[in-house]
Chain A
Amino acid sequence: MTSAVSFARVSRHFGSVRAVDVVDLDIAPGEFFAMLGPSGSGKTTCLRLIAGFEQPTSGSISIFGERAEGVPPYRRNVNTVFQDYALFPHLNVLDNVAYGLMVKGVGKPERQKAAEEALSLVRLPGYGARRPSQLSGGQRQRVALARALVNQPKVLLLDEPLGALDLKLRENMQEELKSLQKALGITFVFVTHDQGEALSMADRVAVFNDGKIMQIGTPEDIYQRPKTRFVADFVGSSNVLPPDFVQRYSGQHRWGSLRPESIRIGRAAKGDGVAARLVSTNYLGATTRLALDVDGLRLHAIMPAGAALPKAGEAVVLTFNRDHLHLMDEPA
């Protein structure tokens, strides 16, 4: 089966900056694919390479089997939902949505009907006559989505589309985007710096750092089995354990990771475990985050709300299921 999007050793350099550095990537048709990474990690440049706003310095990109280098954005069957939505302020909502069809020469009644349908799809029926300036942030986001989807793209690119929305709205839109993607069967490529968003929505996640892909995998893979210290730390703030520490519990001299929620805390007197000192507690509502000190190594643990907690400064014993200690590929 041909990939929806395929990168073969793609690099994009800006002067001496390697924004994208030898990236290989295959996105399957119909997949919900997330590109996750801190700002400046190259994820947005990758998205712009697919859209055609950037050209690779080296390597090749194909979209559904067709070579994409040198093909301008307007000849690609790919549409983008921009971070700032980029709605046209001089057009009303209906004309905004119908824009893609208008420039392709679709007749007025036909394109307006298609635009109305697209607006219904994003649950904004009857908003056609309004100006973008009269809409809320969430509504503008839906218009941007409708404007892209009306062209029936083979791949939909989303550049941090939920970044400007408040928390509640963002959670709703996450569910909505996911069900929309399932219903339409279009390949979605989604850029975000929010690991929770990537894990909850995507079928597969690529974690970017310094222009390189650190790891590609399902959300479970990325979360449970990080390959490098960077992935462990960036996705879900896992405890990164140095080789000497790991050797004591697994017998192998390798870097390891341990999820904060895998750690149990007990009173110092009771049973065996790792002797530690509780440095501080951080109340987060549903959970409490503990900072622990183990011979100079700082670890974090998460306790459910209501659990009896020792006081800061007290000596404690921490235990964990050794199966939860994940060994990473990172060289020791």
Chain B
Amino acid sequence: MRSDGSPSAPLGLKIAAACGLLFLHLPIFLIFIYAFTTEERSFVWPPPGLTTQWFAVTWNRPDVWQSLSLSVRVAAISTLVALVLGTLCAAAVSRTRFFGRETISLLVILPIALPGIITGIALRSAFSLAEIPFSFWTIVLGHATFCVVVVYNNAVARFRRTSGSMIEASMDLGADGFQTFRHVVLPNIATALLAGGMLAFALSFDEVIVTTFTAGQQQTLPIWMLEELIRPRQRPVTNVVAMVVVLVTLLPILVAYYLTRDGDQIAGSGK
């Protein structure tokens, strides 16, 4: 209807868009600001004063370090497990045709579609049935269920885009299975694996629901934060940790985003 043909959106739409974005991201800035507040028992707006003392306090709290280290170890091992299993599964599904292929593909993706609470309860009852005591490894197992999906999805998309005859060409030129994997398959799926791995790491790092069902007495960082909110002491420590979590998870996701974006160009140009 606009006869001037201006590409600019109406003012109302611009304001609405800005409000939407603010609504999404303002709370995160509030968390950052509360990390510097002088009030330690409750969050008061505006903050009565600003201080950086909570960074030092956080640094000296052993429980923070314990849960941080647990979270990093769990995320690292789950990602590693997911990388191996997800890639193998993606290779099988996209490279070969066999009975039940579609079913396997669906079953692999299911854990991310299921609510975390279902996965959690299911794993918990399975562990108690099998009389497996809760440990570091039960957490890893719980996280691996959804980490595999992320890696699988990335790898399967890349496998679909890489020409199948490339592997045959490598074999034809004298490379055995291992050489073909090293010189042809791995370089072609490397960015997809990196992206999938980082996403898996980030997912595992801030996972709460599945973890509450599969962890024993140990606290991963998100669980520790949840507990900390109930306690009225040194509240801003939680906010300092939250800032760290945001940074630790945001950076890999950003890197993964840029890597897969470039990957499209690389894979697309190969034909």
Contact = CB atoms under 8 A, between A and B. Distances in A.
B174 interface: yes
B166 A51 contact: no
A53 B173 CA distance: 12
Contacts of B176: 72, 74
Interface stretch (A77-85, A285-293, A314-322): A77-85
Interface stretch (A86-94, A208-216, A269-277): A86-94
Contacts of A86: 163, 165-166, 168-169
A248 to B, nearest CB: 53
A91 B183 CA distance: 10
B271 to A, nearest CB: 7
Dominant secondary structure of chain B at its interface with chain A: helix
Interface in B214-271: 266-267, 269-271
B171 interface: yes
B4 interface: no
B53 interface: no
Q: How large is the interface on A (under 10, 10 to 19, 20 to 34, 35 or more residues)?
A: 20 to 34
A74 B172 contact: yes
Contacts of B125: none
Contacts of A147: 173
B170 interface: yes
Contacts of B46: none
Contacts of B175: 74, 99, 103
B179 interface: yes
Given A82-B165, A84-B163, A103-B179, A89 B269 contact: yes
A103 B172 CA distance: 11
Contacts of B170: 88, 99, 103
A52 B171 CA distance: 9
Contact of A72 (B171, B173, B183): B171
Interface in B136-186: 163, 165-166, 168-176, 179, 183-184
B187 A73 contact: no
A79 B174 CA distance: 9
Contacts of A90: 187-188, 266, 270
Nearest to B179: A103
Interface in B187-213: 187-188
A99 B183 contact: yes
A104 interface: yes
A83 to B, nearest CB: 8
A133 B270 contact: yes
Q: How large is the interface on B (under 10, 10 to 19, 20 to 34, 35 or more residues)?
A: 20 to 34
A133 B184 contact: no
Contacts of B163: 84, 86
Nearest to A78: B172
Contacts of B169: 80, 82, 86-88
Contacts of B172: 51-53, 73-74, 78-80, 148
A103 B174 contact: yes
Contacts, number: 75
Contacts of B267: 89
Interface centre among B168, B174, B269 (most CB of A within 10 A): B174
Nearest to B171: A73
B270 A79 contact: no
Contacts of A100: 173-174
Contacts of A89: 188, 266-267, 269-270
Interface in A45-87: 51-53, 72-74, 78-80, 82-84, 86-87
B187 to A, nearest CB: 4
A104 B172 CA distance: 12
Nearest to B267: A89
Nearest to B166: A86
Contact of B168 (A73, A99, A131, A151): A73
A131 B271 CA distance: 11
A82 B171 contact: no
A37 interface: no
A84 B266 contact: no
A256 interface: no
A151 B174 CA distance: 9
Given A79-B173, A90-B188, A90-B266, A103 B183 contact: yes
A132 interface: yes
Contacts of A72: 171, 176
Contacts of B173: 74, 79, 99-100, 103, 147-148, 151
A58 to B, nearest CB: 23
A84 B165 contact: yes
Contacts of B174: 74, 100, 103-104, 151
B270 A82 contact: no
A74 B270 CA distance: 23
A83 B169 CA distance: 11
Interface of A: 51-53, 72-74, 78-80, 82-84, 86-90, 99-100, 102-104, 131-133, 147-148, 151
Interface of B: 163, 165-166, 168-176, 179, 183-184, 187-188, 266-267, 269-271
28 contacts: A51-B172, A52-B171, A52-B172, A53-B172, A73-B168, A74-B173, A78-B172, A79-B172, A80-B169, A80-B172, A83-B165, A86-B163, A86-B165, A86-B166, A86-B168, A87-B169, A87-B270, A88-B184, A89-B188, A89-B270, A99-B170, A100-B173, A102-B183, A103-B173, A103-B174, A104-B174, A132-B270, A151-B174
